[in-house]
């Protein structure tokens, strides 16, 4: 009897399938393409992945945590920051590429997720901690690198510059009153970044297609 009990415990404790995890994430993301986070039921996700709801909660504490992971795993590769080259040029390139992403299917899903958690402080905090703030920190580090290498003025406020660049783009993305496209992002960067730049560094960035007025 004791031997059988041990065997059962081992069976219950076997490693969870990575394939099952990926199937769950894919099922959740497909549902996010159709409706907001609050409208998706855990049972729907489980059915789409061919698993039980109990399996979902072996991997994630809440349905919302699962939905966030499903979304973030899709968008992370598209929203990475280049590691080589002029920091200012990389910052501009990230802004322009981000604008193109806003118009993609993944961008629409992320917009649906963000609007769906409006007013829910717990979910908003989860979004900030698991997605936005880590990405923001990477962008701030690029700005700090640009200051350290002499491209940006030493008194540049990284937080201010980042918000000046991303705020208008994000506003257009959510409101939809005007295009949040590559053309707008490029114009935004070309007007804002030069105000923070050291004059001697402008030729370096010109070579990366950043116009300096």
Residue 213 has pLDDT above 80, yes or no: no
Question: pLDDT by residue (tens digit) across 3-53?
Answer: 444 344 434 544 458 889 999 999 999 999 998 888 999 999 999 999 999
At residue 152, φ and ψ (nearest 5 deg) are -110, 155
Domain with CATH 1.10.10.60 in the chain: 2-61
pLDDT, tens digit, 9 for 90 and up, residues 72-97: 888 776 566 777 789 999 999 989 98
pTM recorded for the entire structure: 0.78
Instruction: Give pLDDT tens digits for 187-201.
Output: 999 999 999 999 866
Residue the block writes with tokens 């729907």: 44
CA atoms within 13 A on the CB side of 178: 9
DSSP labels for 125-163?
HHHIIIIIHHHHHHHHHHHHHHHHTTSB-TT--HHHHHH
Q: What residues does CATH 1.10.357.10 cover in the chain?
A: 76-206
Residue 157: which region, alpha, beta or left (left: phi > 0; alpha: psi -120 to 50)?
beta
Could you count the other beta carbons within 10 Å of the beta carbon of residue 140?
14
CATH 1.10.287.1400 is right for the domain spanning 76-206? no
Q: How far apart are CA 139 and CA 81, in angstroms?
A: 7
Q: How far is CA 211 from CA 36, 119, 183, in A?
A: 40, 40, 13
Q: What homologous superfamily does CATH list for 2-61? A: Homeodomain-like (1.10.10.60)
């Amino acid at each position: 009897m004791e031997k059988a009990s041990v065997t059962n415990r081992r069976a219950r404790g076997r490693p969870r399938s990575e394939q099952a995890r990926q199937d769950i994430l894919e099922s959740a993301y497909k549902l996010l393409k159709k409706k907001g986070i609050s409208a998706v039921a855990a049972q729907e996700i489980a059915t789409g992945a061919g698993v039980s709801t109990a399996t979902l909660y072996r991997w994630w504490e809440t349905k919302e945590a699962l939905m966030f992971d499903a979304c973030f795993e899709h968008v992370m590769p598209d929203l990475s920051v280049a590691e080589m080259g002029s920091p200012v040029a990389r910052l501009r390139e990230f802004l322009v590429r981000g604008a193109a992403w806003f118009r993609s299917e993944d961008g629409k899903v992320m917009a649906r997720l963000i609007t769906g958690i409006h007013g829910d402080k717990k979910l908003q905090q989860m979004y900030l901690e698991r997605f936005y703030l880590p990405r923001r920190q990477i962008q701030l580090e690029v700005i700090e690198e640009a200051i350290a290498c002499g491209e940006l003025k030493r008194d540049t406020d990284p937080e201010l510059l980042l918000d000046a660049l991303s705020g208008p783009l994000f506003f257009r993305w959510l409101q939809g009153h005007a295009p949040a496209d590559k053309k707008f992002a490029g114009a935004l960067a070309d007007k804002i970044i030069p105000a923070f730049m050291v004059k001697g560094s402008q030729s370096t960035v010109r070579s990366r297609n950043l116009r300096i007025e």
